[in-house]
Structures are given as structure tokens and as C-alpha cells.
Structure 1
Amino acid sequence: MLNIPLPRRPLAAAVLCCLPLAVVAQSPGSEQDPNELDRIVVTGSNIKGIDLEDAQPVKVITAEDIKSLGAVTVADLLQQVSQTGGGTGNFSTANSGSRQADSPAGFAGVSLRGLGTASTLTLINGRRMSVASFANGSENFVDINAIPLAAIDRVEILTTGASAIYGADAVAGVVNFILRRDFDGLRLSASYADSEASTDEARMNANLVWGASAGDSRFMVILDAYRRNALYDRDRDISAVEPRPSQQGIYPSFNDLFAQDIDFVEQGCPDSQRFDGRPGFPISRFGEYCELNRNAFTATDPETERLGGYATFGHSFGDGLEFFSELALQRNTSEANSDPAPWSQEEIDFFHPGMPSALRQRLLAAGVDPDFTIFGWGRFPDSRTIEVETTNWRWVNGLSGYLGSDWTWETALNLSRSESEQRAVAGIYNVERFRAALLGELCANGATNCSPGSGGLHYNPFSGQTQNSQQVLDLLRERVPRDGESELAAWDLKFSGQWGETASGPVSWAFGVEARREDIRDDPSPLATADPVTGEVPVYGFGSTEVRADRDQYALFAEALVPLHETLDLRLAGRFDDYDDFGSDFNPAVSLRWQPTDGALLRGGWNTSFRAPSLAQSGAGTTLSSGALPCSPGGEFLDTFCGGFTGDDFYLSEVYGNPDLRAETAEAWFVGTVLQFGESTTLTLDWFDFRHKNLVDIDALELFRAALIDPSLVVARGELAPGQIGIETRNGTIGSPIEEVHLQLINVGVQKTDGLDIGLEHRVDDTGLGDFLFYLDATWTNSYERSESCGGNDPRRGAGPCIGGQRLVELNGEFRYPEWLANVGVTWWRGDFTTRVWADYTDGYYDDDQRSGVPAGRRVPSWTTLNASLTWDLTEDAYATLGVRNLGDRDPPVALGSASNFDKFNHDSLGRWWQVSYTHRF
């Protein structure tokens, strides 16, 4: 491992001061025609018009790549970049659902190095867009599903920190989507894809591109439509049955919490699902239960529709002055399904008319007093289903021009907005009315003050909950609206040019100023938020976070490229950011590029970051979520909170905002080389190192460990007040089943990662069989450490010493953190045909053996899929593409630590699927 000392904070204050000192003398005016100046800006720099190729590690996905890869969504495209894999930082529609812990339905976010979407800056044409109107947990992110793929010309991915250039949230790097600027003519495209399975997971896409120029003006319009049918866990053998079925099912368990020692479950539960102490069907920690396979209800990848439009306009006024405008509109609709909502310890009339006589006799034999109610634990019979409609728009207007012969300038006003509406479609039930209906006290008008036998309606929780009238169901089900808005208003002014020179050439500069305002509002129905007095949510198993926050931010930045020698360049950059809610900070960046020969280049750099908590964190109310305490054999909580039972203890949770959060800080550096072997082979190697501090997150295990020292943190169900941190168990003791946990966002510690990026390209031309390009893109992670609280009996692998209540845990090679990610392939051109064959490789890793039922030391095998595409240029104006993914029809490897039985973050269960597309230009 490289051991290069990092510069420390004192260097920060010196960087901007050093910029003017780099100028030896002012250069005289250039005689170059300003219209001949190259005005391209490479991601990672604001300096225009110079060769910055290979100065920093930037991955580029070109238009030709997009064409040959056959991607139909932006998320598909980014799967080909090894730096975006690993961990749970990236998420797509496959990770969405109706539960609060799921990512918002229909959205997708990108993360570099697994450091999280909030640490990865997503740009469009080098400028920001508003974050998604619904947060992912407590993290704001840019929804990449709001970007139509047809509008993308290329994607530039800066894989090292860039806070000094773009802003504090570029901790892990930048993903910059460069959209088409102009077009001449009309182009129509359509594609269709589906798997070979008998289920229907069809993907359909159609788009139109139309553009023209007239005199000094140009314009372009793009329309893009996409639809995907849903894929369900039950549609694939690997995910049809979850590895840890719920012990709380549609056939509830019953107990009077007085005379009974264990729960009872009715005999109507199928024998294969009824765990009642028979051989092979052991009871749980609380007694009998009828298990539920939640995967029968869950969508692996939900149904989604997208319709987008993008338009550009430009006009040249002469003398280099140009006006430009971009307008983007996108409307996405998605439906998401999750397992049925649970209900716990609800009172039921002992003489409920639906109670089976055999169950009533068992209760009486156990000593239950019929003058009192009994209690039930179960789930509703239908899945929680929501629909989300999101409208995004973005409008950029700007001017650019020249100052003299050496300088360019550009200014723009950037306005964008994301607006979402969420509605429950099924499976969401009103708590008050349900409780009344269990006792026969629900009135026909929805009131809850009737009585059994005098107009009171019953809900029947027995017989699999199938014996209920539509009238009762309509009274109990809720739509639970939720509305969200996110807005961004930004203005920037940038200057780029040459001023001064060294003995080796002119010094290139960029200066700029930026101002922006961000507002976010997540306004769920009161039905989905915790009551401020009782702390209870009015519906079961469903909730949303109320967020209201805004922020003003201002920035000054400067950058200089100083030629120290004809083979050596020094780049200095600094950015001063001021936040109206978290103060100000200065972040520098230093990098060097040395090219001693035409075939060898060395590069390296260092930068710092300052990331204020996202608006969803600083403005959060109460987040309703869920979790599970790992109760594996030998686990640290097995003999305490787990009560000796080896089954994960699932619970509901409330997470509260924290006004005392501190900003996150980070340092990043890289060192690498680009080697050219002849004219056809290029090898790139880049070592990266990120050190990220004061992470904003929650640590549930810390609370459980603290409760072992301070048992007053454990109370009986319903006794925690809103905002009070603690743990509720069934009877208020450690070892009793966990019901609810109250947590708070905190600065949990640090995360560190380092490793090596490897890129290789080898081109062979004029072989007689055509031209070939062989390529490799791989990332090897040497280490990924993250702070966690520590206890006395902590069995985790790679856990460091406990210092101050925390230890660094090595996650590399652990669950969902593969050590190697790579894709390797060959592109072949011959005549009118272009063929690409490539393999995607995800390294194996240890399964989550902290979960029950996962053998200690079990590994999830590596996974390699082979893919191919063939593009045929039918005419000069038309081409067709045939693509196939997962040629071997390989199932993803079994991951017992996941509820779906495979890792949705790093693998997929779609199987072999085919795609055909046709494009015609008029």
C-alpha cells in the first residue's frame, strides 16, 4: 500500500494566496483570433481553451458507447462504470418501495466509491439541478431518472474530490451529464426489450430529436418516452421465498398477556406455515406463529413510466457574444409494492363473532378470563402499494463572450424544480378505525363510537382475514397523500483566460462567483406523521418525514494552471463557500501533471471538502422507519435483547432531526499514471484515498449497547414520548420482543476508503477482419473502513480496537462491499457492422452472517455476466441494434443476508433479456 503523507489544513489558507505568486510576468496580448479558441471545459476544471486531457482521472462514456451498450436508462449506463459500484450508496428503482426505509418510488441516485449520493455531485452541462423532492432516508440526491437518455451526448465522471471547483458536496467526485447542444434534421428511435421468462418485464422506449439552424440562431427539441413493466420477487425462483419469513402473518397470533405463557395461533393456518411446537416447527420467543413469505408481495423492480422533453436555443450576436438557453421537462410515474403492514398488540373482543371455536376453547383452557379482551399480532392481507408522480423542470439562460483576445466569460441563471405527489393505492389502514372494528365499535359513517349489536361493524382478523365486507374495508383503508417540492435558483459568473507567464509558458486562469438558493418541502398527510402528543402514527406500517428547510449559499472560486516546465504543470484551486445556516469554509486543491515523454504521464493531487448537512437532515422532523436487531448464534445481543432466540428481531423506529449536527469534512488525494505503449495501447493506474469525517447518520446498535449499561432506556410499549430516545419492548424488559426504537441523527464518526482504478485500451486496426478495441475498466478497493459503536462481545470481522466507544470496522469484502469490480470487452468494427462483447464482473464477499440463518463465514460467490450487441448501419441515415444481456442466463448468487435472497444493489434477477432498437434520420 502506498504511504504518502497528506498535506494538512495549514496549506489551505496558503493556496489562494499562492495563486498570484505563480505569475512571473504579465503576458502581452495574443494575436490569436478569438473565434479559433477552443472553448471546451473538461469536467474537473473551469479553465477553458487548453489541453487538460489526462490531467485528472476522468471517465467518459461517449455517444458511441451509449449506442453500442444498448442502455435505455441512465442507471443502465452508469452500471458500466466500476467506480459507481459496491456498497449501498447507489440505488435504483429496484431498491424502492412503499416503506419509509425504502428509497422513494421511481427515483434513482448515483454514488461514487460507495460514499453516498449526498457526497457525489451530479451536474448537467456543468451546472446543478434541484435535488429530488423526496429524500432517500435523510439524504438529498439528484434523481438521475429525471434526465432523458436521448438527450445525453456523453457522461464525464471525475473520480476524485472536486469541492474546490464545484462546491462542498463534491466530496467523492462529480458525475457530469453533457447534453446535446444542437442537431440538424430529424431523428426517430424506438426500442423494445424483454426477458426470456414467462413473466412480462418489457421495456419500451421511443424518442425524437429535431433541430435546425437559421442564420445566427440554432435550436433543438428532444422528446423521450419510456415504460417498464414490473418484475416481482415471486417471478424468480431465487427470490420467490424469503430466507427469513415473518413471524407476524396474515393468520395472527393471540395472547391475553396475563394467563397465557405463549401466543396461540388458530388451526386454520396451513400446516407448512404454522409453527406451534410440532417436530420441525418450533415456536418462537413469544410462542406460536403463522409465518408469512413477504416476497410474495414485493416488487423487485416496480412499474414505471417516463415522458420527457428537452429543448435548446442559441443565438450569436457577433464578436463572440452568444446567448444560450436550455429547457428540460420530465414527468415520471411509478408504482411500488411492499409487504403487508403489520399490526401489534391490538385488543380483540373475546366474543368476536369470527373467532373459531377451537381457538376460543384453547384460550379458555389456558385460563383466559372471557370478561377481558385478548391481544393480537398480525399483518393485513394485501401489500402496501403506492403511486408516485414526479414532475421535474429545469431552465438555464445565459450569455458568453470574450474579453479582449485572451479571456472568455460566461454567466447564467439556472432555475429548476422537482415536484412529487404520492398516494397510497392499497394496504394502508387507519389505526383508530381498525381498533374500533376489532371490538365491533366501528360505525357505518366511519365514527368509532358504536357498539356491537347496535350498528357496530366488526373487522374479522381470523380465517386469514378473508371474511370482511367491502363496506368495512372501504372504511379502514386510507389514501394518505404526500406532496414534495424542491427548488433551486442559482446564478454564476465565470472568467477564463491567460494572465502572466513563467519561463515555460503562459499561466491559465479561471475565476468565478456563484450564488444559489435551495428550498425543500416534504409535506406528508397528517395520517402518515407521528402525532406530536401521543407519538403514534394514524395508519399502520406507513409513514413519511416532514421536511421544511431552505438555504442560501454564496461562493468565490479561483483556479490556476501554472507551467513549471515544458513537461510539468501545477494546478492550484480554491473555493470559499458561505452558508447562511452552517457558516463558511475554504477548500483548496493542488495537483501536478508531469509528462516526461509522449508515452508516459504522472499525475497526483489533494483536496479538502466541507459538506453541510443536507436540507433533509437539517430540516427533518420525524422519520418513520424500521430495523432489525441481528440475533445470530454467538452474536453480542443473543443472550440479552434477543432472549436467547436466533431470529432477527424486527421493530418499527422513529428517527428525529438534530439541530446540533456538525458539517462533514473530508480529505482526498490521488496519484496515478497514464502510459502509452506505441500508438495503440494505453494503460491508466490511479490510486485513490478518501477520509470522510463527522458523517451524519444513525447508529441503532449504539443505542442497544447503551441500554445494556443504562436499562432506563428500555420501557414498555407505548411509554416513549415523542422525541424521547429509547427502546420499547413488549413488557418493558431486556429480552422481551422489541416493539419500537427512537433514534436521533448524529455525527457517527468517519469512513475511509482507498484503492486502485485500472484502465486499459488496446486498438488493432486494419487487420483484414476489421478494427478491434479491447478494453478493461476495473476498481480494486484495498480498504473501506467505517466507524461503528462497539460493545464487549462484538463478533464482526475486521473490527479494530474500541476507542472512546467507537471502532473502525473493515467493510471491504464484507456484505455488499466487493473487493473487485470490473468490466472487460472488445468492440469490433467491420464495414457497416459494429459488435461489442463484454463481461461485467462483481467479486464475491462475505454474506451478512450477523443475520439469523446465515452460516458463519458464508461467502456470496462472485458473479460474471456476458453481454453482446450488434449495430448494423442499414443506410447512411438508419441503423438497427440487437443486444442481449446476461447471455448465459445466470441467476444472481444467493445472498442469505438479503430479504430477497440476492443482493439488489450489486446483482439483478432479470436473467437473459433481449433488446432491439431502430434509429432513422431524415
Structure 2
Amino acid sequence: MSRTFKRQSPQILTGIAFASALTCSTVFAAEPQSLERVEIIGSHIKRIDAEGASPVAVFRREDISKSGVATVRQLVEQLAASTGSLSDLGGGNSFAGGASSVSLRSLGKQSTLVLMNFRRVASYPLADYNQTFTNIDSLPLEAIERVEVLKSGGSSVYGSDAVAGVINIVTRRDFQGLIAKVNREASLLNSQFNDKSLTLTGGYGDLTRDRFNVLANVDLYKRNSVMWSEVLDDSNPAYAAFSTGFGTPSTYAYPGNVMSKGSNGKNALKPLAGCADANLIGGLCQYNRYERFEATPKADRVTALVSGKLLINEDLQAYSELLFSRTKTGYESAYNAYGSALGTTVWGDPITNGLKSFTNRGLPAEHPLNNTGVEADFRYRFVDSDAHKRVKTDQYRVLAGVKGVWGNFDWDTAVGAMGGKTKADQRGSFSEKGFKEVIGDYTKAQLDADFFNKSNGYKIGQSNSADVLAKLFPIFGYEAEIKQFFLDGKLTGEYGSLPAGAINVATGFEVRREEVQITPTGGLERGDIVGYGSVRSNASRNYGAVFVEGNLPIVKNLELQTAGRVDKFPGFGAHFSPKLALRFQPSKELLFRGTLETGFRAPNLTENAPSTKFAFSNGISDPKRCNQASAYAKDLKAQAAALPAGNPDKQLLTAQADNVLDECSRGVASIVSYNPSLKPETSRTGTLGLAFSPVKDLSATIDYWRIERKDEIGLKSVNDLLNIEDTLDAGVIGRSDLAADQFFDAAARAKYGVTAGRLQSVTSTFENLFRTKTSGWDVTVKGQLATEVGRFGADLDLTYTTDLYYWSAARKGYGDNMAGRYGTPRWKSKLTLSHSMGPVAQALTFHYQTSTTLNGDFNAPAWTQEDCAKTKNLSAEQCRYGAYSRLDYNVSYSPIKALKLSANVRNLLGTRAPVDYRGFGVGGVIPPDREDVQGRMLRLGAEYTFW
């Protein structure tokens, strides 16, 4: 083992520690006596061999550069084992907007642990409902030396959350110099899509000569906002063919349309005075809603990292680290539409734990804009609502430690603090109280005469005062803070021996304190914001862990690895996570390996601490109304098709059909309470694989993996509950009064067989309910070939998911195999072919994933082949999400030693993304994939080394 802190040259450290895994040079043939032991993710024990018993993928700075990514999120998304997770791009409607997460193996963002330099990073201050996670947008890309991905569980080493795997970001070590780097990316199809970054990285001090080293990195990133109105013309024509509403303006307009009595005595929807001529379409006032549908939100980020090391003597070193990030994300939102045809919105009341409802009403008979003598349909757009969401988050991690040598052991201990604050402000939705004050009481059977006509209230189509608008559209949101304090230590080294060699061990401890506070603001805390749920938490806890590891050489070339960790959280007993692994290397070219281990995830403070959550479940298909709605909508569209183009009823019938189809994709209010009796989620993971290097500069790994997770914390799904609705207690499923149905009148209810009112709410509590099991294969191939015309390289990262099963409470067993179904492609891969010669380096990267069906599990009747043909008029081929493929090209050129110029073309061939009918939705209006309108993306960069 290493007995001193004497500095090795960067070339030696890189070539020795990782040459076999990273450059594919004779993977198993290194000479032990010349090597430095290093720590690699998956074990605290330092080792010589890059390939251990656990499957680990390592990506160097060179690999990151060839990928052409600008953020850590983009880097992680390219991993073959990475599956869809939260992104700041689509976080406008999330509880945790302004952040991005990572998920491996389709097990969710809470089951993948993210480390930086082998230690945890603080969770994002805002929980995504009940899910806590690391915001990878807060991590510095240009400070990264390498990224290590443990593709099996790691709870026996790292504790809670390491169920699907661990991602460890290792920052630059012993760096000396000053480097500036600038990048700008823009779409060649729609230049509105663009971002830019500026990075400065400096290091000073030779640890051997000067006895210290300091590293500083500052990373600035900026992305602008793009609205769909700017790029909609380049979307896939298939969406317009599928939805009659796609690309069309809305009759919920400004200054609006109102039902009026014509000279013939008949009522018809008519535009109000003041509608711009350009917006008078088809005899109605129309509004281009795509002006407020955002394709990409604005983002501004700054990340700073400062770290230092001080060599006190040959056996003692002090170190410190400060990481700070500030992320700002701005989401522009659609202006509120209003009209009696929009029906009733239901949400939860955090004061009473009951339900609230808001009903869109028309104009009263006495209103000066209403000449019908009865309450009249009114369609309006609040373009003065200043609809937006702004999220600002500061996050940090600061630590100080010492490490040294004691006899045959290396030791390391550190103390630190980490955390963050988030302020999320939002505007554009009604205040229930404010609406009643400046517009009127919508709950009355007969509206007051001054509804929408109060003397000091809101004026339709006119300029309204800031005071009125502040009452009607208050600023609301969240203030959140998370803090963690920690002390850890570990001891690693040789302890005894067996005939086949020395026994290496590691042991250590962690103690932590965690504090979480999430506070809704601006009326959200009392349920005043129409249609909005909320999350509140104010809790803390202390917890700790001890762990031990051992590497035992059983016989020559056969190594047994053992690990065990005991974690103690309040609320349940100590949890033990063991691991057994074997590593057998019969020759320098071939290695066999396998692991068996358990994992766990402790309930977080938003799940088992006092709190109540109010939210929505979206896209719910109501089995008691969807089929009936589909038939009704089909008839309405047929009636519309029979009318001439200029008939205003044509668009009204089409809009009515789209509204009725909401029964097949409902938003449902959800009221959820905490559960102090929750147990931890537990898992069992097994891997079996081999690594081989048949010739020099060529290596490959093949690993089978299987994960079974049980006692998952969650809620009974709305689909499950709806399928057994008739057996549930009263109040679990909330429906509106059938007699007051605004979508099916009495005649339609009789004709189409509607027997249940509109779905409104579901009430439940967190429970240890579910299980997930998944398995598959990981394949990597790395190769290099040096020739007279340069060095050629190939790098393959592939994951094949054999099966993925989710537990169903209703079935009391697993559902269908979701591998190959919507959202879970069986095959995902990235193949990079590279070439370098002299000052020029280039790479082609091919991304590929297989097609999937559009249907979900057994309990979701929508989007099956039968449903596609029967209700959506889609062919069998259209009822799939097609295979995804993309070719990227990266080139760099160094005209002088200090300067490096680079260009990266994302989607070199301009390939369209597959049509996603399910993501688009029935009656959809917004394309589900911005990549389709981005086309080719060109990133240009320049890097200058000052010294």
C-alpha cells in the first residue's frame, strides 16, 4: 500500500491507476510493483486493479470532451444505464422546478446516490412532492477529472439511497495552471435555441516542492427562453394530422367572446369589441396560445469550487473544499383561460384537509355585455396576469479534513456542512379570495348582478390597476432550506495475510444531522391558489453509520470481497446492509466477477415527518367515463366536419369534443398524509459478469444484473384504485354530482351510458406498498489502434433491459413486463468512434435505443393496440414510439500548444425524433419533444491555457 503522500506525476497517476480501464491498454497485465493504489467507486479499499468485483464505468475528461456536452445533466443522460428523470427543462409544473436529477435502471431519482469526491452532496432544498434528490445542475462540469459509475447497489459501502447505483464525480487533483474556456451552442434550424458557458480553472502549488496545492474553478452557464410560437412550423406534421386542435388559435381570447342573441333571436358566440383585426378569425376573437407555451426555459447558473491541500509532513496531509452554486431558472407560463365550458377545478385545502373547488361561470344576465337574459357563456384570456415562475437556489458544501498514515494503515477524517436555500415565486393563477373580491362569488346558484362588473374590480378587456391584479393574481410559491452537518472517518490497509496474499480491510463511521424546512407562501399555505397543491415540512433528525470491508485472497487469482454497513435512523431499528463478491482472474486476459448485496433507502423527512401534501395526478383515464367520452367526441367531430368552413359552430363542436376527451386524460386532486410508521425500502442486487482483453488495446466487459426492491414507499395508484372503485370505502374516490355534469347532459348520459360523475379527487397516505424487480445486461467495449495515420479508438456503452416489473396492489402481484413498453426501451447504447493525429482529434458518436409500444401496465387501458385502433384511429405502427437514433460529430484542433478550438454537431444528420403520440396526448396542442424542432445543434468552443 501507499505509505507516504509523495506526489506522483499526473502522467503516472493517470496511466497507472486507470490506464487499463480508460485507455484499454492491456487491462489485466499491469506490473503491481510499479503501481499506486487508488480508491475507485464501490469500495473504500484502495486497489491496483482497475477492474474489481463490482461493475464500474469510468469516463475521463477526454471522454467528456468528445461527447460535446455542456452540463452534468447532459453527460449523465448519455449513460446507457440512465433512464428518464427530472430535468429543469420541463420542471415548470414540478414541485422541484429549477433542478435536474438522475435515475439508473428505471428505479427513480431517490435510488441513485450522487457523490463528489466520494462524499455525499446535499439534496435539493425542494422535494419533488415526496422525492428528495441531488440537483446535478449544481455540479461543475469543467472541474471534473473523471466520472465513476457503480452499476450495482452500494448501500453496504455508502448507505441509504445507493440501490440502483452510485455516480461519483471526481474533481481535478494536483492541477497546476490557468485555463479559460468558452462555449456557445445554437440550433442550425432555429437559432433561438442557444446557450453559452464560460469557465476559468486555475491551480497553483506543487505538493512535493511547495507542500501545498490550491484549485479554483468558476463555471458560468446561460440559456435563453424559447416559445413554441417561434418554432412550431418546424414540428412534425404527424401531430397536426393527429389532433385537430394542434397549431390552432384559441377562442379563449382577449378581449374575449360572449354568447349573444342575434337579430334572428338565436344565441351565438360573438367577439367582444376591441378584438384586433388580426385576431378575428372565423367570426370569433382568437388568441395565439403558442406565444405563451414555452419550449425551453431561461437559465442562469454559476458554480464555484475551491479546494486545497497542505502537506504537513510525509505522513500527514490537511485538505479542504468549498463548493457553491447559484441556479436561476425562469419559466414563462400560459395566461389563464376562463370560460364556463372549462368546468370545475378541484384542489386540496391544507387548513381543513378537505377539498376546494372553483367553477368557471359565465356572465350574469344583468351584465352590460350580456343580452341573452340568462347567464351567458363567456370565453376570456387574462393576458395581464403576468404568468411566470422564477426559481432561485443557492447550494453549498464545505468540508475540512486530515488524512495520514498510521503503521500499515491509511486514515482519513473530515467534518463539514452542506445545504441550500430555494425561493420559488410563481404568478398567473387565481386567488380564490381575490377572485371573489374583484370579480365575484362563483359559488352562488344565481350570480350577483355585478359579477365581472364591480366598480373597483377587474374590468374585461381594459387596463386594470396593479392593486386589482395583485389581489387576483398574487405571487405565491415556496421557501425551502436544507442543512446537513457531518463527521466521518475511515481506516484502510493491510491486516494479516492468507497463503495467497495480504488481507486488505477498511472500516469507518459517519454521523450526520439533517434539517429540512419547506414552507408554502403567498396563500399557497392556506389553499387560496386555485388548482394548486402544496408540500410543507419542518423536521430534523440525527443518524449515523459504521461500516467494515475486507478483501481476502482465498487462493491465487481468487479474491473474496465482503462488506457490511449498519445505519441507524430514528423511527426504526438499525439496518444492516451486507455484501459478498468474488473476483477470479485465471489469466491476465480474463476476469470473472460476481456480487450479492442488499440495499436500502430510509424514509425521508417529507414522508415520515408531520406533513400533508396536496397535488394532482395527471393523464388519468377514467374507466367509467373514457369509452363513453371517446364515442361522444367522435360524434361531435363528425357533426363539426359536416358544417361549412365559415360556420362558427364548427369550431365550437370541435372544442367541445376536445373537452369531452378530457375524461381520457384527467387531472385528479390528490390529498396525501405522512406516515411515521414507514419502514425503509430494501433491495437485493446480484451481478455476474466477466472482463477480458484478448489482445493489447482491446477490452470488453459483460455483466448481468438483477435488482429486487420491496417495501417501496408510495401511494396506491389512481389506476389501481379506479379499477377497484366499487370495493373502496366512501371518500377514497371523489366524484362530482352526475346530475350537474357539464360535459354530458341528460340526453348524452342516456345515449352513451354514463353512470358516474366526473372524477375529482383521491385521498390516501404513504405506505410500504410496492415492489419492483428488474434485470438486464451491461456491455462495454473499448479499443484503440495506433497507426501511421493516427490513433483510432472505439468505445461502446450498452444496456439491455430484460425485464421490469412493478407491483400492483389491486392484483396483489406484479404487473406486466414493462421492458419494451412506453418509457422503457429494452436497448440503449452509445458507440463512439474516434481518431486523433497531431493537433486534430475527432469523434463520431451514435446514440440508439429501440422502439417501444405506447401502452403501460395491465391496469392502464389506454394506448393499447386495440385502443389505438378503436378510439384514436392509429395504425399498429403508429401505436409505437419508434426507435431513436442520433449521430453526433466532435472535432478539436490545436493550432498552437496553448489554444484548443472545438466544434460539436449534435444530430449531424438532422434526424427527426420519433413521433410520440402518447406524450402528445389526445387532443394535444404542444409537441412533446423540443429536439424535433431543434434539428442540428452546433457548439463552438475555445480553450486557452495561460500557463
TM-score normalized by the length of structure 1: 0.81
Q: 1:669, 1:293 → 2: CA distance? A: 54
Q: Which runs of 5+ in 2 are unaligned?
A: 9-34, 260-266, 274-281, 338-344, 346-357, 633-659, 856-860, 864-870
Quick check: 1:118–1:614 contact (8 Å CA) kept in 2?
no
Q: 1:249, 1:654 → 2: CA distance? A: 33
Identify which of 764, 789, 806 aligns with 2:785: 764
Q: Is the aligned partner of 1:859 residue 2:880?
A: yes
Give SS of 1:82's match: coil
One-letter code of the match for 1:913? M
Q: Which residue of 1 aligns with 2:163?
A: 171
Quick check: 2:182–2:197 contact (8 Å CA) kept in 1?
yes
Q: Which residue of 2 aligns with 1:53?
A: 51
Post-superposition offset of 1:385: 1.5
Quick check: 2:71–2:137 contact (8 Å CA) kept in 1?
yes
Q: Which residue of 2 aligns with 1:119?
A: 111
Q: 1:128, 1:305 → 2: CA distance? A: 24
Quick check: 2:734–2:762 contact (8 Å CA) kept in 1?
no
Q: Superposed, which structure 2 residues align to 1:708-719 within 5 Å?
A: 708-710=726-728, 712-713=730-731
Q: Which residue of 2 aligns with 1:396?
A: 399
One-letter code of the match for 2:937? W
Give SS of 1:816's match: coil
Q: Is the aligned partner of 1:351 residue 2:365?
A: yes
Q: Is the aligned partner of 1:319 residue 2:304?
A: no
Post-superposition offset of 1:764: 1.3
Quick check: 2:364–2:370 contact (8 Å CA) kept in 1?
no
Give SS of 2:124's match: coil
| Deviations 1:518-564 (CA, angstroms, capped at 9, x unpaired) | 111111115113x4xxxxx2112334311222221111100000111
Task: Pick which of 555-564 and 339-348 moved more.
Answer: 339-348
One-letter code of the match for 2:678? L
Quick check: 2:733–2:761 contact (8 Å CA) kept in 1?
no
Identify which of 469, 472, 482 aligns with 1:473: 469
Post-superposition offset of 1:54: 3.7
Q: Is the aligned partner of 1:669 residue 2:672?
A: no
Q: Superposed, which structure 2 residues align to 1:458-497 within 5 Å?
A: 458-459=457-458, 466-467=461-462, 469-471=464-466, 472-497=468-493
Q: 2:803, 2:930 → 1: CA distance? A: 18
1:182 to 1:232, Cα distance in 2 relative to 1, 3 A = farther
1:449 to 1:548, Cα distance in 2 relative to 1, 3 A = farther
Quick check: 2:4–2:405 contact (8 Å CA) kept in 1?
no
Q: Which residue of 2 aligns with 1:810?
A: 817
Q: Superposed, which structure 2 residues align to 1:776-815 within 5 Å?
A: 776-790=796-810, 802=811, 804=812, 806-815=813-822
One-letter code of the match for 2:200? L
Q: Superposed, which structure 2 residues align to 1:840-919 within 5 Å?
A: 840-848=847-855, 850=862, 853=872, 855=874, 858-899=879-920, 909-919=933-943
Q: 2:673, 2:377 → 1: CA distance? A: 30
1:569 to 1:642, Cα distance in 2 relative to 1, 3 A = same
Q: Superposed, which structure 2 residues align to 1:291-440 within 5 Å?
A: 297-341=292-336, 344-346=358-360, 350-351=364-365, 353=367, 355-357=369-371, 360=372, 364=374, 380-381=382-383, 384-404=387-407, 406-424=408-426, 426-439=427-440
Greater share of residues in helix = 2
Quick check: 1:753–1:785 contact (8 Å CA) kept in 2?
yes
Q: 2:452, 2:677 → 1: CA distance? A: 55
Post-superposition offset of 1:347: 5.0
Quick check: 2:68–2:939 contact (8 Å CA) kept in 1?
yes
Q: Which residue of 1 aligns with 2:585?
A: 595
Give SS of 1:46's match: coil
Q: 2:818, 2:580 → 1: CA distance? A: 30
Post-superposition offset of 1:708: 2.4
Identify which of 608, 617, 626 aligns with 1:618: 608
| Deviations 1:371-413 (CA, angstroms, capped at 9, x unpaired) | xxx8989875568411011111110100000011x21000011
Q: Which residue of 2 aligns with 1:500?
A: 496
1:746 to 1:82, Cα distance in 2 relative to 1, 3 A = same
Q: How many residues align?
A: 810
Identity percentage over the alignment? Answer: 24
1:629 to 1:310, Cα distance in 2 relative to 1, 3 A = closer
| Deviations 1:687-734 (CA, angstroms, capped at 9, x unpaired) | 010101122223112332343234733787799xxxxxxx99999996
Post-superposition offset of 1:897: 1.1
Quick check: 1:43–1:126 contact (8 Å CA) kept in 2?
yes
Quick check: 1:322–1:400 contact (8 Å CA) kept in 2?
yes
Identify which of 206, 220, 237 aligns with 1:225: 220
| Deviations 1:114-146 (CA, angstroms, capped at 9, x unpaired) | 101110100010001210001123100000011
Q: Which residue of 2 aligns with 1:511?
A: 507
| Deviations 1:257-294 (CA, angstroms, capped at 9, x unpaired) | xxxxxxx9834499xxxxxxxxxx9xxxxxxx999997
Q: 1:341, 1:625 → 2: CA distance? A: 19
Identify which of 156, 160, 164 aligns with 2:152: 160
Q: 1:824, 1:669 → 2: CA distance? A: 26
> Cα RMSD between the aligned structures?
3.7
1:190 to 1:354, Cα distance in 2 relative to 1, 3 A = farther
Task: Pick which of 229-238 and 125-134 moved more.
Answer: 229-238
One-letter code of the match for 2:223? R
Quick check: 1:310–1:327 contact (8 Å CA) kept in 2?
yes
1:905 to 1:566, Cα distance in 2 relative to 1, 3 A = farther
1:494 to 1:716, Cα distance in 2 relative to 1, 3 A = closer
Q: 1:573, 1:623 → 2: CA distance? A: 38
One-letter code of the match for 2:889? A
Q: 1:730, 1:655 → 2: CA distance? A: 30
Give SS of 1:51's match: coil
| Deviations 1:654-684 (CA, angstroms, capped at 9, x unpaired) | 3333333332111011001112121122121
Q: Which residue of 2 aligns with 1:23?
A: none
Q: Is the aligned partner of 1:238 residue 2:238?
A: no
Quick check: 1:730–1:737 contact (8 Å CA) kept in 2?
no
Q: Which residue of 2 aligns with 1:456?
A: 455
One-letter code of the match for 2:503? V
Q: Which residue of 1 aligns with 2:643?
A: none
1:122 to 1:453, Cα distance in 2 relative to 1, 3 A = closer
Post-superposition offset of 1:856: 7.6
Q: Which residue of 2 aligns with 1:823?
A: 830
Q: Is the aligned partner of 1:560 residue 2:550?
A: yes
Quick check: 2:731–2:763 contact (8 Å CA) kept in 1?
no
Q: Which runs of 5+ in 1 are unaligned?
A: 1-29, 256-263, 271-280, 282-288, 365-369, 442-447, 532-536, 720-726, 791-801
Quick check: 2:195–2:223 contact (8 Å CA) kept in 1?
yes
Q: Which residue of 1 aligns with 2:711?
A: 694
Identify which of 561, 566, 580 aligns with 2:570: 580
1:850 to 1:193, Cα distance in 2 relative to 1, 3 A = same
Give SS of 1:898's match: helix
Give SS of 2:471's match: helix
Q: 1:269, 1:897 → 2: CA distance? A: 37
Post-superposition offset of 1:160: 0.3
Q: Which residue of 1 aligns with 2:353?
A: none
| Deviations 1:311-344 (CA, angstroms, capped at 9, x unpaired) | 1111111131000000111111111234445754
Q: Is the aligned partner of 1:546 residue 2:536?
A: yes
Q: Which residue of 2 aligns with 1:4?
A: none
Post-superposition offset of 1:652: 3.4
TM-score normalized by the length of structure 2: 0.79
Give SS of 1:388's match: strand
1:248 to 1:918, Cα distance in 2 relative to 1, 3 A = closer
1:390 to 1:700, Cα distance in 2 relative to 1, 3 A = same
Q: Which residue of 1 aligns with 2:28?
A: none
Quick check: 2:564–2:578 contact (8 Å CA) kept in 1?
yes
